[in-house]
Structure 1
Amino acid sequence: MIRTATPDDIPLIHTLVRELAEYEKEPHEARATEEQLREALFGERPAAYAHIAVDDATGLPVGFSLWFLNFSTWRGVHGIYLEDLYVRPEARGGGHGKALLRELARICVERGYERLEWSVLNWNAPSIAFYEAMGARPQDEWTVYRLTDGALADLGSS
């Protein structure tokens, strides 16, 4: 079962974000606080949205997706950028990841969005195989660039 996240899910989402950071071998990068997540997801002007995967048999939350709208100047419409998709290891293989992606695809179709995009770490072979099995294709002609910390501050203050 997939459900839309509520403000009561903030501690859970925060925990799942931390678990994802551990899985991706970057726990020190997960610095978001519960309050920041609450503001981003449920503040006056939400910047992101989330869904929770719940195991049908146990009723326990086992994963989440966190996403936001992007915009294609080429297509002239919004799309969804999936920032995070995570299913706890003990629940993998149970269809929860696919259900989360299916929900986002459903939202795209319903709203007329023409793209559902995300990034995956090059070393994450199980996730790559999972995504490709659903028909997703890598955009290998594009390289992601990122400015953070000192480099971002330097450029922003010059």
Structure 2
Amino acid sequence: MTETRLIPELRREGLDVSLSTDGQPLVFPGMPEQMRAAWQTHNEMYADPTLVRPTDALAMGTWIAARGLRWEEEIGSLAPGKQADLVMVPLDNWRYVHTPRPLEAFLAVGGSGDVDTVVVGGRVLVESGRATGFDEEQLLADYERALRSYSERCLKVPGEKIDEVFARTTRRGAGTGAAR
């Protein structure tokens, strides 16, 4: 609906508009990026910096979305009896220091990669920027193994070419390491 320009019109009519990270025509990795798009895109399209404020974008990704799913009694805001889902971003990063509006600064220059801790239903799922429930290195190795297999079998890409690409692009720099 972003490109239809309907979001501001629906909001003006008093209707709820929520955000999600699936089903988007454009690829935005996470909710912070969706909130940034809702905030900045519509303000730019309408040349009105107050059309969607950062707090509106936050509401569209939290309590309005929960209400749209009819889960507002369980999620969407911090209140006694609700699931305590938290996303924590350290504000001591130079991009956020000395700003009077941390949410606006985060949406303007931050993103999913800045998230340090995620707590869902009382369980810590991300700590110090790393997933706690699975081995990220093993996940990467499994992904590279599947990518290699598909590329060789279906796309007929020679293994040496895959090795070259992996060597240039992997975090480990080894390229073929655990991927074989």
**TM-score scaled by length of structure 1:** 0.24
| Structure with the larger helix share | 2
Larger radius of gyration: 2
Which of the two has greater strand per residue?
1
Q: Which has the higher contact order (CA 8 A, sep 6+)?
A: 1
TM-score using structure 2 length: 0.22
